[in-house]
Amino acid sequence: MKISCLAIDDEPLAVKKIAGYIQKTPFLELVAQCRNPFEAMEILENNEIHLLFIDINMPEMSGMEFVKSLTIKPYIIFTTAYSEYAVEGFEVNATDYLLKPVSYSNFLRAANKVKDLIGLSANRQPSTITPAINHMFVKSEYKLVRIDFDDIKYIESMHEYININLAGSKPVKSLMSLKSIEEQLPSDRFLRVHRSFIVNLSKISMIDRNRIIFDEKIYIPIGEQYKTSFQTYIDKNFIQ
């Protein structure tokens, strides 16, 4: 099995060099190369990535900020032109860091370290249960915003945007589809009830004539094609 890799660097020559190193290393596989963390988000969502080679200094969002935002972290090898970032890199459990300009010998040394760790991990029986994920991160106005599932009341589609309506704070607007965020939500806690709405089932206070009512007297219609799935939920939780 090859180690699947993602290279992230805003400098074209730097990311091209790392990508080239990955491609010439027999036990590594290059999945993609990205110019910023925002491009990398989609790759990580749709592919199993074992190892990130990521630059620390990037505009809008640093490599360090991006790694800290990840709920499930691959192995991390930071690349940087500044040696003082090494300590901070190890604080987020980075496997290694490479000082630019990166030589292939140093690259291979760091890659072999990950190879050894993956080999150890494959031969070791799991000793703990992975905790349930109770939050996600969404991009909003060039920032990654953490959203706790418990805080979500409902999510509304606004054409090319969605509005994530939260208890106790302002809504978060994000450029994504309702379908894409639906795939990230736990299906036992959230349900799509209309082509424009997903609701947090635990936040519903009342149901009246095919409308869901929240505490603030917000009325959400139940769409015709979603009535069956919603009725199934009601039947399971209805006490006579």
Rg (CA), the chain: 22
SS3 105: helix
Spatial separation of the C-alpha atoms in residues 135 and 137, rounded to whole Å: 7
CATH number listed for the domain at residues 135-237: 2.40.50.1020
The predicted pLDDT at position 91 comes to: 52
Spatial separation of the C-alpha atoms in residues 179 and 81, rounded to whole Å: 40
* Residue 130 DSSP symbol: P
The predicted pLDDT at position 87 comes to: 45
Q: Where are the domains of the chain?
A: 3-123, 135-237
Pairing mode of beta strands 172-174, 3-8: unpaired
Q: Judging by beta carbons within 10 Å of its beta carbon (0-12, 13-18, 19+), is residue 183 exposed, middle or buried?
A: exposed
Torsions phi, psi for 126 (to 5 deg): -65, 135
The predicted pLDDT at position 75 comes to: 92
Please report, as a single letter, which amino acid is at residue 25. Answer: T
SS3 132: coil
> What homologous superfamily is domain 3-123 in, according to CATH?
Response regulator (3.40.50.2300)
Spatial separation of the C-alpha atoms in residues 81 and 57, rounded to whole Å: 8
The per-residue pLDDT string of the chain (240 residues; one tens digit each, 9 = 90 and over) reads 789 999 999 999 999 999 999 999 999 999 999 999 999 998 998 898 999 999 988 888 888 889 888 888 899 999 988 765 544 544 567 888 888 999 999 999 999 999 988 875 555 444 333 445 688 888 888 788 888 899 999 999 988 899 999 988 899 999 988 988 888 888 888 999 999 999 999 888 888 888 998 876 788 999 999 988 888 888 776 654
Q: Which of 99, 56, 101, 100 is nearest to 76 (CA)?
A: 56
